[in-house]
Each structure stands twice: as structure tokens, then as C-alpha cells.
């Protein structure tokens, strides 16, 4: 290949448009980059066909577009698949986002949602921001202030997905980290012996890992008294968003896999100034960071400049409102996450058998497990029968993912695992069709 053989950008974009359903501006940009790369490669003596290069890039780009997939992994809150399922059936509409219909004047953003959340969990006040990291950033900045000393156990200096680390967030807030205790053992006396003035006391629930063995920690129930002795507010980051440890929306009470998970209502009742949690974990709603607690503390957070930078949009407000109204009206069992988590083993087995027979796939039903996911209740699982397909797991997985719509399964011990606990009953036929295609 020489420079004369390279196609024009328009010609290459035209050829690519036949097989790729992407905006022409995107196709033209990829075509131009591929031709530029090919031109440089010709000059260095290692040319590549720009048509093939551009087509490969466009396929990868197309596959990264946000689209609906069937989650057959058995991870109920799959971080890579958006955690809690999202509802994409809404239609465009104007809303009274910041408008008071009763007075005709400008209204308060999220006013109803904040009142709803506070009433649901028994808090004096509530505030919602974009995610729980944003809620923690805001709490530290507002309650501790710049150079304010925040006491936290060394065993809770967590790192979560994307290399996000608590010490880095604390530094970004302007607060000064004061570590107490050790990685595996922190006692009440470690906090009491903190020298100097303390502006806030923080406890972070390590929801994505467990430390076992020779360990000790101060429970949430004792932290408010420690904070009062230090003359500082107590910030409780419970992370996963379990609203009530008694789970009144589950017949028979809380399941074993929720053991030792701190709940918002109970941590509040123990005297916390602010409790922080996620909207898209055990709560089962959209991505959001929620702060509930004493009016004085929550209002300080709401007045801080960072609050505007991390506020949520109208779509999130609408989705989170529907989630909390389900809890407040006794309909939390209808939330997709809780539907998946509480489906009886016998029901999953029946559905799996029907999918296997309808697909004609060469597989077998075996005992397996599901994960709540999203860094919640680490190490604990939900018993679940699964469909095991032996053979070339890479090929099988790829064929399922290439189905329309894509079916994302799991791979384990050289086999492809299809787990219907994370699949809605309406999607069973899609899974069966995808399996039939292989």
C-alpha cells in the first residue's frame, strides 16, 4: 500500500455507513483518524488497511453505546451493568423541578423528595446529591471545614472501584485526616486519646470487604457518644443503603445474607448527626448519595458551595422519588432488586428448566449462588440453581453477548453459567432464544 491507494475520508465514511448505525459525524471522525494513521504507517513502512482499522474501531465504539442488556450473571447489583436496573420507558416532559404550583413562585429543588426521605427513615432532614462519594465529600467540607481534623479508624480507610480512596477524598474536601487504631483493631480508647481539637468523627462501613480473625472495631451504636465526648459531630457512612434492619418488606424478616449490615434507621436512632448511603445499592434505586440526620447538620451541607456542584437532575429526582414512595407506602417488595433477591429457589429452578427445554441447549441445572453485588454484603451469597453449559466458554459467552439484545452470562471453571435470579421473568424468552442461537 502506498499513499495513492488511501481512500478519501468521504469515500471511506460512505463505505462504513452501510454496516454501522452511528451518526455520520462519528463515522467521519473515525475514518479520518484511520486514514491519518495509515498515512503515517506508510511512511514508516508498516501500513494497515484503513478500512479494516476503521471498521474495527466503529464496532468497538458501537458496542460501548448505552443500551439495555440482559443480566444473566447472577450479580443482582452489577456495577459494570449499571447496578440497580434503570427504567428507560419515560417520555420527555416539563416538570415543576423548581416551581411552586401553589404560589406560582420559584420553588425549592427536591423539596418533596427531601421531606419524603426524612419521613421514611425517621430523620429530621434529608439531602440528595449525585453519589455517595459526593455526599461524603460534602459532609466533610461542610461539617469539618478546611483543615478541620476528622478522626477515623485506620481499618476504614477504604478503596472502592476506580482506585477511589477515602484519604484522597478527604484531602479534596480540605479536611485533615487523623487516623486512630490499627488496620485490624480499633478500640473506643483510641478515639478518646485523640489529642487536640476534633471537628468531626467519621465511621465508614467497609461494604466491599471483610476483615476476619484477630479483629476489633467500635460499632456504630457507640460512635455518637465518642463524638460527643470529643465535642464533634458524628458522620456515619453506612454505604449500601439498607433502610431498616428488620426489612418489613420481606416476608419472614431479614435473610441470612443481610447479617451484620448496618441500617439507616437504626444508625440514626443511635444518635448520629448525619448518615450517608447510596441510592443504587441495597436501596434499589438510581445512582445517588443520600444524607439524612439532624437539621442543623444537613442544612450546613445544603448551604455549602459544593452542594450545587454535586446536585442531582430531574430524572434522578423522579426515579428516587418513586423508590422512596415504594418504601413509604409498604411496596418495597416490588422494587426490582428486592424482587430478584427474594425469589424462591423453587421458582428460579422452574424457570431455568423451562429456559433449558425451550432453547434445546446442551446444558445442565446445578446448584449455584447469586451475589447481591455493588460492594454490598461481601462474602455473603444467595443460594440459586443455575444453568451450566460446558464447552468453549469464551465462544459461548461471546455468542450470547452478540445476541440482540445482548445476554451477559458468567464464566466459571471452563463453563458458561446462566443465572436467572438477575433476569426478569419477561426476559426468560430472550435468554432461551440466545441459547438456541448457539
Same domain, 57 and 76: no
Say how far apart CA 189 and CA 182 lie, in whole Å.
Answer: 12
Tally the domains of the chain: 3
Residue 133 lies in a domain: yes
Say if residue 224 is in the same domain as residue 287: yes
Percentage of the residues of the chain whose pLDDT score is greater than 90: 59
**How many of the other CB atoms lie within 10 Å of CB of 404?**
10
Q: For the domain that residue 298 is a member of, what is the CATH number?
A: 3.40.640.10
Per DSSP, the chain holds a count of helices (H) and strands (E) of 16, 18
Question: Do 322 and 401 have their domain in common?
Answer: no
pLDDT at 185 over 80: yes
Measured CA to CA, the distance from residue 22 to residue 18 in angstroms comes to 10
CA distances (Å), origin 355, targets 36, 63, 69, 118, 431: 49, 26, 17, 43, 7
Q: Which pLDDT score, from 0 to 100, does residue 86 have? A: 67
Q: Look at residues 293, 309, 331 and tell me which one is the last residue of a structural domain.
A: 331
Inter-CA distances, 51 with 4, 11, 20, 28, Å: 15, 10, 13, 12
Please report which helix (H) or strand (E) contains residue 203, including its range: strand 200-204
In this predicted model, what pLDDT tens digit does every residue of 336-353 receive, in sequence order? Answer: 999 999 999 999 999 999
Show the domain range for 411.
Answer: 70-86+343-436
Q: Could you give phi then psi for residue 55, rounded to 5 degrees? A: -65, -40
Is position 93 within any domain?
no
127 and 245: one domain? yes
Q: Specify the DSSP element, H or E, that contains 320.
A: helix 314-328
Least confident of 126-135, 162-171, 226-235: 162-171
Q: Which residues contact 303 (CB under 8 A, 6 or more apart)?
A: 142
Measured in degrees and rounded to the nearest 5, phi and psi for residue 383 equal -55, 135
The confidence score (pLDDT) of residue 155 equals 85
Does residue 158 have a pLDDT over 80? no
Whether residues 226 and 177 share a domain: the answer is yes
180 DSSP β-pair partners: 153
**What span, in angstroms and rounded, lies between the C-alpha atoms of 138 and 170?**
10
Mean pLDDT (the chain) is 89
Residues 236 and 385 in one domain: no
Q: Is the pLDDT of residue 381 over 90?
A: no
414 pLDDT more than 60: yes
Note whether residue 21 is domain-resident: yes
Residues 214 and 82 in one domain: no
Q: What percent of the chain has pLDDT over 70?
A: 95
Inside any domain, residue 194: yes
H or E element in which residue 303 lies: helix 295-303
Clarify whether residues 187 and 310 are in a common domain.
yes
Give me the pLDDT at residue 279, please: 94
With respect to residue 119, please indicate whether it lies within any of the assigned structural domains. Answer: yes
Mean pLDDT to the nearest integer, 172-186: 88
**pLDDT at residue 119, rounded to an integer:** 95
Please check whether residues 217 and 305 belong to one and the same domain: yes
Task: Provide the pLDDT for residue 209.
Answer: 62
Indicate whether 82 and 143 sit together in one domain: no
* Burial (CB count within 10 angstroms: exposed 0-12, middle 13-18, buried 19+), residue 208: middle
Does any domain span residue 92? no
The answer as to whether 82 is a domain residue is yes
Q: In this predicted structure, what is the pLDDT of residue 1?
A: 63
Enter the DSSP assignment of 164: E
24 with 145, same domain: the answer is: no
Query: Is the predicted pLDDT of residue 127 greater than 70, yes or no?
Result: yes
- Asked which of 309, 331, 353 is the last residue of a domain, the reply is 331
- Among 276, 308, 331, the domain boundary falls at 331
On whether residue 336 sits in a domain, the answer given is no
User: Is the same domain home to 76 and 58?
Assistant: no
User: What is the mean predicted confidence (pLDDT) over 258-283?
Assistant: 94
How many beta carbons lie within 10 A of that of residue 305, not counting itself? 9
Residue 402, domain CATH: 3.90.1150.180
Q: Identify the CA nearest to 374 among candidates 64, 24, 77, 47.
A: 77
Rg of the chain taking only CA atoms, in angstroms: 26
Record the cell numbers describing residue 57, joined without a space. Answer: 474501531
Amino acid at each position: 500500500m502506498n499513499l495513492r491507494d488511501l481512500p478519501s475520508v468521504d469515500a471511506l465514511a460512505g463505505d462504513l455507513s452501510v454496516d454501522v448505525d452511528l451518526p455520520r459525524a462519528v463515522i467521519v471522525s473515525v475514518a479520518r483518524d484511520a486514514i491519518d494513521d495509515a498515512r503515517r504507517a506508510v511512511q514508516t513502512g508498516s501500513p494497515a488497511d484503513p478500512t479494516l482499522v476503521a471498521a474495527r474501531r466503529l464496532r468497538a465504539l458501537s458496542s460501548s453505546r448505552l443500551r439495555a442488556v440482559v443480566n444473566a450473571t447472577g450479580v443482582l447489583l452489577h456495577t459494570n451493568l449499571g447496578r440497580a436496573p434503570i427504567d428507560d420507558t419515560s417520555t420527555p416532559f416539563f416538570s415543576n423541578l423548581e416551581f411552586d404550583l401553589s404560589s406560582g413562585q420559584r420553588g425549592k429543588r427536591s423539596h418533596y423528595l427531601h421531606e419524603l426521605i426524612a419521613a421514611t427513615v425517621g430523620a429530621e432532614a434529608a439531602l440528595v446529591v449525585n453519589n455517595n462519594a459526593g455526599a461524603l465529600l460534602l459532609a466533610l467540607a461542610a461539617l469539618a471545614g478546611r483543615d478541620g481534623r476528622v478522626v477515623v479508624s485506620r481499618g476504614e480507610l477504604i478503596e472502592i472501584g476506580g482506585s477511589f480512596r477515602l484519604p484522597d477524598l478527604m484531602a479534596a474536601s480540605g479536611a485533615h485526616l487523623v487516623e486512630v487504631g490499627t488496620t485490624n483493631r480499633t478500640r473506643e480508647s483510641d478515639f478518646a486519646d485523640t489529642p487536640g481539637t476534633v471537628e468531626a468523627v467519621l465511621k465508614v462501613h467497609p461494604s466491599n470487604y471483610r476483615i476476619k480473625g484477630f479483629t476489633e472495631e467500635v460499632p456504630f451504636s457507640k460512635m455518637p457518644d465518642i463524638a460527643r465526648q470529643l465535642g464533634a459531630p458524628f458522620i456515619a457512612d453506612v454505604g449500601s443503603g439498607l433502610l431498616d434492619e428488620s426489612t418489613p418488606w420481606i416476608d419472614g424478616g431479614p435473610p441470612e445474607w443481610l447479617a451484620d449490615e448496618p441500617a439507616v434507621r437504626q444508625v440514626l436512632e443511635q444518635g448520629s448527626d448525619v448518615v450517608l448511603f447510596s441510592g443504587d445499592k441495597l436501596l434499589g434505586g438510581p445512582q445517588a448519595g443520600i444524607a439524612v440526620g439532624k437539621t442543623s447538620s444537613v442544612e450546613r451541607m445544603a448551604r455549602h458551595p459544593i452542594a450545587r456542584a454535586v446536585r442531582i437532575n430531574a430524572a434522578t429526582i423522579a426515579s428516587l422519588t418513586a423508590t422512596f414512595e415504594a418504601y413509604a407506602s409498604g411496596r418495597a417488595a416490588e422494587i426490582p432488586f428486592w424482587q430478584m433477591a427474594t425469589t424462591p429457589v423453587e421458582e428460579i429452578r422452574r424457570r431455568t428448566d423451562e429456559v433449558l427445554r425451550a432453547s434445546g441447549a446442551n446444558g445442565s441445572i446445578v446448584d449455584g449462588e447469586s451475589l447481591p453485588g455493588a460492594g454490598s454484603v461481601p462474602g455473603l451469597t444467595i443460594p440459586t440453581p443455575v444453568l451450566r453449559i460446558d464447552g468453549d466458554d469464551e465462544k459461548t459467552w461471546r455468542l450470547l453477548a452478540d445476541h440482540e439484545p445482548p445476554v451477559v452470562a458468567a464464566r466459571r471453571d471452563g463453563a458458561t453459567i446462566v443465572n436467572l435470579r438477575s433476569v426478569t421473568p419477561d426476559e426468560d424468552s430472550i435468554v432461551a432464544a440466545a441459547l438456541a442461537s448457539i
